[in-house]
Every structure is written in structure tokens, then in C-alpha cells.
Amino acid sequence: MSTSQPRGPGAPRATIRDVAALAGVGIKTVSRVINNEGNVSPQMRERVGFAVAVLKFQPHIGAGTLRRGDRKTYALGLLTDSVDNPFSAAVNRAVENVAMAHNTAVFAASSDDDPARERTLIQAFIGRRVDGLILTMTRSDHGYLQHEREQGTPIVFVDRPPNGLMADAVVTDNYEAAALATRHLLGFGHRRIAHLGDELIIQTAVERRRGFTDAIRAAGLSGGASTSTDNLRSEHEARRAVTELMSIAEPPTALFTSQNLVTIGAIRALRDLGLQHGVAVVGFDDIDLADLLDPPITVMAQNPQAIGTLAADRVFARLDGDTDPPSTQVVPARLIVRGSGEIPPLD
């Protein structure tokens, strides 16, 4: 084991010039070798390769970016609500896989669905001249992105559509998926269903709420029978909301929880009350171990891997010169029936 300590720089970092000097060639020849260009004799290639190895030369990608025609940084900016959220983490991994195949690194950042933080992080990406942006945005106006688009930077919105911008997007049909989930509950005879939703600053929360409300109306139920609690920002808030909800006079017999953390909070609340087998639950987003719970949780599952992959593919297609009009790709969600969503109403 080495005992040397990090006492700051030892030998200065080798540059392309150092390599050229050691190999006794011009710097352009070194450039040709490290970029695998043609018109280099095998002997040259070897001499340069030797010098590169001796000096442990690592080309400075940023310096190349500055001079290169295409100005590529070989970096992407990915913004999600949080790298720590399982849904976003799956998107993140899918994006990384595609990016890696294109020699591209990924900056990952978490907005916490805070419009100010969101903007700060995007500016940071732009200042670093990322080749493309993959963004999960709040509903706040983000027209400020237009300028960056005009510079030619591909921008793809994931999970939620853009606001005030015509741009590529990869999303789930949240309205339809929520309506489907709601109809599933209606089909089992429920007439008092509660919707528990995320912050309405988030576009998908609005869509899911609409899908729920319209499905309830279409079933000919009065709005009063079914309720909606919005702006639940954490598992904790969801838990409290459900606990309160179940204590009212005629409590709901079924819950539609419109996001993974909300679903978990609701399940905890029902457990606390011993109602997990008495109240039906359908959640939006799949949850790890949902099948091992008692009852197993029925969910409307999105496909984050597909969403991430398609979004990254779109970015690289644009970088490769695709000039088709912006398009929105809809990734299907699917209902996974496990048990919690098939509990009939008690009364």
C-alpha cells in the first residue's frame, strides 16, 4: 500500500505538448492519434502511444470542446424531483445507459419540485454547456428555456409535459391512467372514493386529479360523495390526511393515491386504524415489495425505464441532426392487480 499523502500536485499534468515533445512529433500528430484519426503511420502511432503511456496523459475534454467545431461537452444534464426517488432513479439509470453508449456523462440534479431550485440547477447545466437537457419540471413558467433551445441544445421533458414551450416530451397518459384506476374501484361497487394527490404545482398531479374527477362524474356520482385532498408533499402528510379522512361521518370505502410516497403514507394510516382489509387502495406508481404487503397493493404502474430510455434516445437523435417537429411520446401505464384494489365496499 502506498504511503504517500496528497500533498498537492506533484509533477504537473502532462499536456498534448509534453507528449509531442517526448515523442518528438508535432502536436497535431498527437491529436490525430488520441482521436483515432486517419493519416498516421503505424510507427508514429506507436511512438505517440508510448509517450502517452509514459506521461499518463489524459486529454482534457473541456479544452477540446472549446475549439472543436461541434462544441460538444459530451455531457448531459438530467433534472428530476430527486435522485433519491425510486421512480426518478430508474429514469436516471436508463438515461445513463443510453448516454454511456454515446460517450457522454450525466449530470444528475434534484429539484425537489421547487421552481427556484429548478431554475438554478438548469442554469448550472447551461453554464457547463451540456449537449442536451432532460428535465422533469414543475408547472412554473419555463419560457426561459426557449433561448437555450435556440442555441441548438436539445431539450426533452420527461414524466411531465413542458409549459409554454413546444418541445419533445416523454410522458405517461396520466389523465387516462388515473381514470382507469378510478374506474377499477368503481367497478367493485365503490361510491365514496377519495383521491389523495401530490402538489398541484406539478402538472401530472393535476392530470391525475382530472382523470379521477371525470371518472367519478362519468359514473353519475355526485361530486360530494367523493373527495379530493391535494398538495400532499410527503409520506407523513399523506398519512395524516388519511387518518383524518377516515374519522369523518361517512368515510370513503376506497382510496386512489396518486403518487408512490402518498400510497405508502395511506397504507400506514390504514394499518394504524386496522382498516387495511376494509378499505380499497389503488396507487399510482409501482412500489418495491408491494406484492409482499398484506394486502398486496394494486397499482397503476408507470414504466420509468422506458421513459428514461426514450428521452435519452430523443436527445441523441436531435444531436444527430433529427429536425422533425417536436413530439410527445406516451409510454403506457399498466394496472397491476394485487389485492388492495379489489376489496369491495363494506356498506
Partner DNA sequence: TTGAAAGCGCTAACAT
Partner DNA sequence: ATGTTAGCGCTTTCAA
Interaction between residue 142 and its own copies (CB under 8 A)? no
Interaction between residue 149 and its own copies (CB under 8 A)? yes
The nearest distance, CB 77 to DNA, in angstroms, is 18
Asked whether the beta carbons of 169 and 158 are under 8 A apart, the reply is yes
Cis ω before 162 (30° cut-off from 0): no
Nearer CB in complex with its own copies: 23/264: 264
Per the structure block, which three cell numbers stand in for 132? 442536451
User: Would strands 298-301 and 334-336 be described as parallel, antiparallel, or unpaired?
Assistant: antiparallel
Task: Work out which of 11, 248, 249, 346 binds its own copies, going by CB under 8 A.
Answer: 11
Nearer CB in complex with DNA: 34/317: 34
Task: Work out which of 189, 294, 332, 337 binds its own copies, going by CB under 8 A.
Answer: 294
Task: Tell me the C-alpha to C-alpha distance, in Å, between residue 326 and each of 136, 169, 214, 316.
Answer: 17, 8, 29, 14
The nearest distance, CB 263 to its own copies, in angstroms, is 10
Nearer CB in complex with its own copies: 228/305: 305
Q: How many residues bind its own copies (CB under 8 A)?
A: 76
The nearest distance, CB 196 to its own copies, in angstroms, is 18
Contact letters (x/-) for its own copies, 38-77, by CB under 8 A? ------------------x-xxxxxx-xx------xxx--
Torsion angle of alpha carbons 18, 24, 29, 31, nearest 10°? -10
Task: Work out which of 27, 40, 44, 83 binds its own copies, going by CB under 8 A.
Answer: 83
Interaction between residue 7 and its own copies (CB under 8 A)? yes
Across 236-318, the runs of DSSP E, i.e. the strands, are 254-257, 280-284, 298-301
Task: Tell me the C-alpha to C-alpha distance, in Å, between residue 59 and each of 95, 206, 285.
Answer: 25, 48, 43
Interaction between residue 317 and its own copies (CB under 8 A)? no
Nearer CB in complex with DNA: 17/334: 17
Interaction between residue 111 and its own copies (CB under 8 A)? no
Per the structure block, which three cell numbers stand in for 120? 438554478
Question: What is the distance, to the nearest Å, from the Cα of residue 27 to the centroid of all Cα atoms in its chain?
Answer: 42
- Exposed (0-12), middle (13-18) or buried (19+): which is 116, by Cβ within 10 Å? exposed
Nearer CB in complex with DNA: 57/316: 57
